[in-house]
Amino acid sequence: MRGEQELGIVNSKDENPGDWYAEVVKKSEIADYSPVGGFIIVRPRGIALWESIRFYLDSWFRETGVENAYFPVLIPEKYLEREKEIIEGFDPEVAWVTHGGEQELGEKLAVRPTSESIIAPFMSRWVRSHRDLPLRLNQWCSVVRWEATETKPFFRTKEFLWQEGHTVHKNKEDAWEETMQRLDQYERLYQEILAIPVLKGEKPEHDKFPGAETTSTVEALMPDGKSVQGGTSHYLGTTFSEAFEIEYVDENEENQIAHTTSWGLSWRAIGALIMTHSDDQGLVLPPTVAPEQIVIVPIWRSDTKQEVMRYARDIQENLSEYRVRLDDRDGKNPGFKFNEWELKGVPIRIEIGPKEVKNKTATLVHRPDGERHLIEVNGIGQTIGEHLEKIYDKLYQRALENLQGKIHEVKNEEELIEKLTTNGGYAKAPWCGAETCDERVKEKISASIVMIPPKTEGEMEKGEECAVCGGVAKEIVYFAKKY
Amino acid sequence: MRGEQELGIVNSKDENPGDWYAEVVKKSEIADYSPVGGFIIVRPRGIALWESIRFYLDSWFRETGVENAYFPVLIPEKYLEREKEIIEGFDPEVAWVTHGGEQELGEKLAVRPTSESIIAPFMSRWVRSHRDLPLRLNQWCSVVRWEATETKPFFRTKEFLWQEGHTVHKNKEDAWEETMQRLDQYERLYQEILAIPVLKGEKPEHDKFPGAETTSTVEALMPDGKSVQGGTSHYLGTTFSEAFEIEYVDENEENQIAHTTSWGLSWRAIGALIMTHSDDQGLVLPPTVAPEQIVIVPIWRSDTKQEVMRYARDIQENLSEYRVRLDDRDGKNPGFKFNEWELKGVPIRIEIGPKEVKNKTATLVHRPDGERHLIEVNGIGQTIGEHLEKIYDKLYQRALENLQGKIHEVKNEEELIEKLTTNGGYAKAPWCGAETCDERVKEKISASIVMIPPKTEGEMEKGEECAVCGGVAKEIVYFAKKY
């Protein structure tokens, strides 16, 4: 029997977060599993979230000189091989196309895992003079990486939607500025649109994107204490421009080697969004990206239906500047509607009954915590705007408190392990710079260095010892378990 | 030597349209050939056109109840096989993924050629009650079809971007209305946005989309006399819903079989756009989709530079409601700039020299035909708006005249062949309904039935004979050579 009892979430976010997450994603109609392991079907409520993310990021990219382009979904093996030869550590697991129709192909084609190897040769053609720089391209597309892991919608999928930006600059200074500008835009997306505070930093040497001089990252802490890499921006130095001959003639008619960057953010952001805010009643969404910001639920008996409905429609019209839905379904009672819209994460519910009609008021309920207000219908547009902002702040504050309460300064391995296994979050620890120390922590508790904070956060004290091996510490790093 | 002499188009649209088209696409920086035959790289000026098309269509879809979704890029072989078993004539040539990383897959996966086979089973799950209907999904994605043909950017490519809509309805009437609504939206896109008149009609029985009851099409006539299928909308009847069990419980609690539709429009629309309007100077674009609608070219000597530039910037500010570019490059002379922006298809050029500054005027030139106007700078925003509309109408009228002059009523095969081989365009002919007659024309002159016009265009006279075999004619059809 399909029925109303199936609507609610049965798993608990605290007790079994994995099952809870899968259940929320499915029951709130965000996504479904595909018949092929590792692939998902993204339903309209899920794609609406991605389209919001795309809308904001794309407009910021445009304002800062980025142009969209489109490169082929299939990349010849020799292009990837060339990148493998040149770029140490580049060896992606990809899906290989070997046949076209009935025919075996002369050369295997990879379904794009990322597009540096096909974009760089074209950038080399298009860049001739300093006047062609900076060259900033971006594409919104899907990529496939054949990593054998359990499927977790948006976090771990073989195919995902993302944007990949690729830029060429005259020198290190310009390319570095670009790298940081994109990282700042990712931070802005999380903090101003998704209501998720993030930490900015760099990946350690041994965990950089292959070929990058620096991989910078925004990290978001989930309520279960694990860190999500929310987006990365790479300063590639001259690695790719040397390999693919991206050169230009400068103002003095001299040949120069260019510097490049790449940066990407995927639908994992949707995963972080759901994981951060949602609860045991289902999805919770910030008003910025919610497909509906407000749902109006009329409450009537047959003798009051007409006046309640007329009043509800008036309110709907007064709120036309927002994404508002009037749930006028006849076959469902108000309680059912409350549950359904809570499950689907609509930030504000407006309840309207005969009393509200009589008093020219409306009852307004905040999704995240059930906070209720009886408001005047006069000026309701402005009032609602204030409440939407309040809800956004509430979500952001809650996430910020989670983050702030889970950054633990630790001095030795015992503390590090104790904090990360009992509290989760970040262990802020001095580190000697050796990959072996990172490996050791990973083997013991599946946590690793997720980020090195910017030096502007303060100098390390002199004489500090690596929390893992006790050797001379070189810098402060953040260890965490991660998605 | 790369240089200015390479900028211009050397091929002639009339004399060698194929080479001319390829040259325009490449030199106006719309697209480039990929290293893999059949694939192209779409550069920012090309993607901007696709984003415009997407913007308009997507907003019309939304207004009429369509929601976007995203289904996987890889489809298991058994899904396509199932469709092949059920749907007569469905046997697409696809790119097959056989390996993930180093491992051979247990089952081959097709890079999606179209998504009915993966969407239909999910629609079957999601549709339970009449309250779930209509269900209207659309996705913007890329598809790959392994058809062995010469590459012609946007017209013939193995990969193309498109949108595919898939809908489920209660009955034939609703599904038919949907099919026609989408066809009307495609017509609107061509006529109101791309300045291309189209003919609407149906494909003959033997040329329908496999599984469709009716395939409707919008056909655009290119200046070289060939027809382009600009978009298709299929009424699928109950073929897919029977095969994939898309059923619902109606208002009387009875099980009913649903009716479905699908409809798609690809980046071929960009090809039709370029082919229709462009000329031997390069790209010509209607103002609706042009990345820049206006380019301002200042003309100065060193002693007048300051005043001319100040004036040019004032005009730019006054035109902020449009997409306007001030070409203030120092190293290029005005003639070079004129040529470059003509090549790139900017609809209006504004020339500003000391005389214009003195008289508070501006010289305005229409891209399509070089029509010049000296206009008052006072009220320039409104004046420009009128000229942009005029340019749109000019392009549309020219294309309409081409179309109207090339619909030839013919009565027999001799006339049919004569008209299509000397004039091109459409031969409007009575037809008996036999595929063999269509085949015969195809063998002789590579032309075929592209469309059956709506019956509302008038009844066929009684006693007409098939133009090909002389048998009893059943209906009037349009023969044409096609892309």
**Residue B4's pLDDT is what?**
44
Q: Report how far residue B416's alpha carbon sits from residue B481's, in angstroms, rounded to the nearest whole number.
A: 12
**Residue A6's pLDDT is what?**
60
- pLDDT tens figures, A417-461: 999 999 899 999 999 999 999 999 999 999 999 999 998 776 777
CA end-to-end span of chain B, whole Å? Answer: 35
Which backbone phi and psi does B157 adopt, to 5 degrees?
-140, 150
Which CATH superfamily does the domain covering A407-481 fall into?
C-terminal domain of ProRS (3.30.110.30)
Edge-to-edge strands of the sheet including A103-111?
A74-76, A103-111, A95-100, B95-100, B103-111, B74-76
Which residue from B446, B445, B447, B452 is spatially nearest to B430, judged by alpha carbons?
B452
Instruction: Pick left, alpha or beta for residue B145 (phi over 0 → left; psi -120 to 50 → alpha; otherwise beta).
Output: beta
Of B70, B79, B142, the CB nearest to A42: B70
- Does residue A463 surpass a pLDDT of 90? no
Please tell me the class of the A294-399 domain.
alpha beta
Please identify among residues 310-349 of chain B the ones whose CB lies closer than 8 Å to any CB of chain A.
329, 331
Query: Would you state the structure tokens that stand for residue B3, as one six-digit string?
Result: 């240089």
**Does the distance separating the beta carbons of B159 and A111 come in below 8 Å?**
no
B372-375: long-range contacts, CB 8 A cutoff, minimum separation 24: none
Q: Cα dihedral sign for A298, A302, A304, A309?
A: positive
How many interchain CB pairs under 8 A, A with B? 147
Please identify among residues 89-118 of chain B the ones whose CB lies closer than 8 Å to any CB of chain A.
93-101, 108-109, 111, 118
Q: Is B18 on the interface with A (CB under 8 A)?
A: no
Which residue from B220, B192, B234 is spatially nearest to B60, judged by alpha carbons?
B192
**Residue A3's pLDDT is what?**
43
Of A94, A101, A128, the CB nearest to B94: A101
Which residue from B237, B197, B201, B227 is spatially nearest to B216, judged by alpha carbons?
B201
The interface predicted TM-score (ipTM) is 0.95
Of A50, A96, A101, the CB nearest to B98: A96
**Does the distance separating the beta carbons of B51 and A131 come in below 8 Å?**
no
Residues of A within 8 A of B101 (CB-CB) are 93-94, 146, 148
- Does residue A378 surpass a pLDDT of 50? yes
Residues of B within 8 A of A48 (CB-CB) are 67-68
- pLDDT tens figures, A14-38: 999 999 999 999 999 999 999 889 9
**Residue B331's pLDDT is what?**
86
H or E segment to which residue B59 belongs: helix B44-63
Per residue, the 3-state secondary structure of chain A, as one string, reads CCCHHHCCCCCCCCCCHHHHHHHHHHHCCCEEECCCCCCEEECHHHHHHHHHHHHHHHHHHHHCCCEECECCCEEEHHHHHHHHHHCCCCCCCCEEEEEECCEEEEEEEEECCCCHHHHHHHHHHHCCEHHHCCEEEEEEEEEECCCCCCCECCCECCEEEEEEEEEEECCHHHHHHHHHHHHHHHHHHHHHHCCCCCEEEECCHHHCCCCCCEEEEEEEECCCCCEEEEEEEEEEECHHHHHCCCEEECCCCCEEECEEEEEEEECHHHHHHHHHHCECCECCCCCCCCCCCEEEEECCCCCCHHHHHHHHHHHHHHCCCCCEEECCCCCCCHHHHHHHHHHCCCCEEEEECHHHHHHCEEEEEECCCCCEEEEECCCHHHHHHHHHHHHHHHHHHHHHHHHHCCEEECCCHHHHHHHHHHCCCEEEEEECCCHHHHHHHHHHHCEEEEEECCHHHCCCCCCCECCCCCCECCEEEEEEEEC
Mean pLDDT across chain A:
94
**Residue A456's pLDDT is what?**
73
In CATH, what is the architecture of A4-277? Answer: 2-Layer Sandwich (3.30)
Q: Cα dihedral sign for A272, A278, A283, A285?
A: negative
pLDDT band at A149 (very low <50, low <70, confident <90, very high): confident
Instruction: Work out the minimum CA distance from A402 to partner chain B, whole angstroms.
Output: 33
Instruction: Work out the minimum CA distance from A201 to partner chain B, whole angstroms.
Output: 31
What are the sequence ranges of the domains in chain B? 4-277, 294-394, 407-481
**Residue A5's pLDDT is what?**
47
Please identify among residues 32-61 of chain B the ones whose CB lies closer than 8 Å to any CB of chain A.
32, 34-36, 39-44, 46-48, 50-51
Instruction: Work out the minimum CA distance from B169 to partner chain A, whole angstroms.
Output: 18
pLDDT mean over A52-63: 98
What b/e readout covers B107-130, taking b as 16+ CB neighbours within 10 angstroms? Answer: ebbbbbbbbbbbbbbbbbeebeeb
Q: What does DSSP assign to residue B195?
A: -
Q: At what angle do helices A268-277 and A44-63 cross, to 10 degrees?
A: 110
Q: Is B142 on the interface with A (CB under 8 A)?
A: yes
| Coil, strand or helix at B350 | strand
Instruction: Work out the minimum CA distance from A73 to partner chain B, whole angstroms.
Output: 8
Residues of B within 8 A of A93 (CB-CB) are 100-101
**Does the distance separating the beta carbons of A41 and B70 come in below 8 Å?**
yes
| Coil, strand or helix at B281 | coil
Residue of chain B with shortest Cα separation from A142: B73
Q: Report how far residue B172's alpha carbon sits from residue A426's, in angstroms, rounded to the nearest whole number.
A: 59
Which backbone phi and psi does B469 adopt, to 5 degrees?
-105, -10
Please identify among residues 147-166 of chain A the ones whose CB lies closer than 8 Å to any CB of chain B.
148, 158-159, 161
Please identify among residues 285-314 of chain B the ones whose CB lies closer than 8 Å to any CB of chain A.
none
Do you find a cis peptide bond into B454, omega within 30 degrees of 0? no
Residues of B within 8 A of A159 (CB-CB) are 72-74
Do you find a cis peptide bond into A454, omega within 30 degrees of 0? no
* Mutation site for A-interface testing, chosen from B6, B33, B41 by largest number of A Cβ within 10 Å: B41
Residue type at A192 in one-letter notation:
E
**Does the distance separating the beta carbons of B41 and A71 come in below 8 Å?**
yes
Of A41, A97, A142, the CB nearest to B97: A97
Residues of B within 8 A of A137 (CB-CB) are 44
Residues of B within 8 A of A96 (CB-CB) are 97-100
B294-394 carries CATH number 3.40.50.800: yes
Q: Which residue has the tokens 């990973």?
A: A442
**Residue A89's pLDDT is what?**
74
Instruction: Work out the minimum CA distance from B312 to partner chain A, whole angstroms.
Output: 22
Q: Determine the longest span between alpha carbons in chain B, in angstroms.
A: 85
Please identify among residues 198-257 of chain B the ones whose CB lies closer than 8 Å to any CB of chain A.
none
**Residue A203's pLDDT is what?**
97
Residues of B within 8 A of A32 (CB-CB) are 122
CB under 8 Å to A111, separation ≥6 — which residues? A73, A74, A94, A95, A96, A97, A143, A144, B73, B74, B97, B111
Query: Would you state the structure tokens that stand for residue B243, as one six-digit string?
Result: 């095969």
Which residue from A262, A265, A176 is spatially nearest to A220, judged by alpha carbons?
A265
pTM: 0.96
Beta bridge partners of B144: B159
Q: pLDDT tens for chain B, 483 residues: list them.
A: 344 446 689 999 999 999 999 999 999 999 999 988 999 999 999 999 999 999 999 999 999 999 999 999 999 999 988 877 777 777 779 999 999 998 999 999 999 999 999 999 999 999 999 999 999 999 999 999 998 678 899 999 999 999 999 999 999 999 999 999 999 999 999 999 999 999 999 999 999 998 899 999 999 999 999 999 999 999 999 999 999 999 999 999 999 999 999 999 999 999 999 999 999 999 999 999 999 999 999 999 999 999 999 999 999 999 999 999 999 998 899 999 999 999 999 999 999 999 999 999 999 999 999 999 999 999 999 999 999 999 999 999 999 999 999 999 999 999 999 999 998 999 999 999 999 999 999 999 999 999 999 987 767 777 899 999 999 999 999 999 998
Instruction: Work out the minimum CA distance from A107 to partner chain B, whole angstroms.
Output: 10
Q: Report how far residue B139's alpha carbon sits from residue B131's, in angstroms, rounded to the nearest whole number.
A: 23
* Mutation site for A-interface testing, chosen from B49, B51, B99 by largest number of A Cβ within 10 Å: B99
Q: Cα dihedral sign for B235, B238, B239, B245?
A: positive
- pLDDT tens figures, A130-146: 999 999 999 999 999 99
**Does the distance separating the beta carbons of B69 and A43 come in below 8 Å?**
yes
**Residue B167's pLDDT is what?**
98
Instruction: Work out the minimum CA distance from A372 to partner chain B, whole angstroms.
Output: 31
Which residue from A215, A220, A202, A221 is spatially nearest to A263, judged by alpha carbons?
A215
∠ CA A341-A347-A350, nearest 5°, is: 70
Residue type at B472 in one-letter notation:
V
Q: Determine the distance from the C-alpha atom of residue A135 to the mean position of all C-alpha atoms in its chain, rounded to a whole number.
A: 26
CA distances from A476 to A202, A234, A421, A479 (A): 11, 21, 20, 10
∠ CA A308-A310-A314, nearest 5°, is: 115
- Does residue A347 surpass a pLDDT of 70? yes
Which backbone phi and psi does A362 adopt, to 5 degrees?
-150, 145
Q: Cα dihedral sign for A189, A191, A196, A202?
A: positive
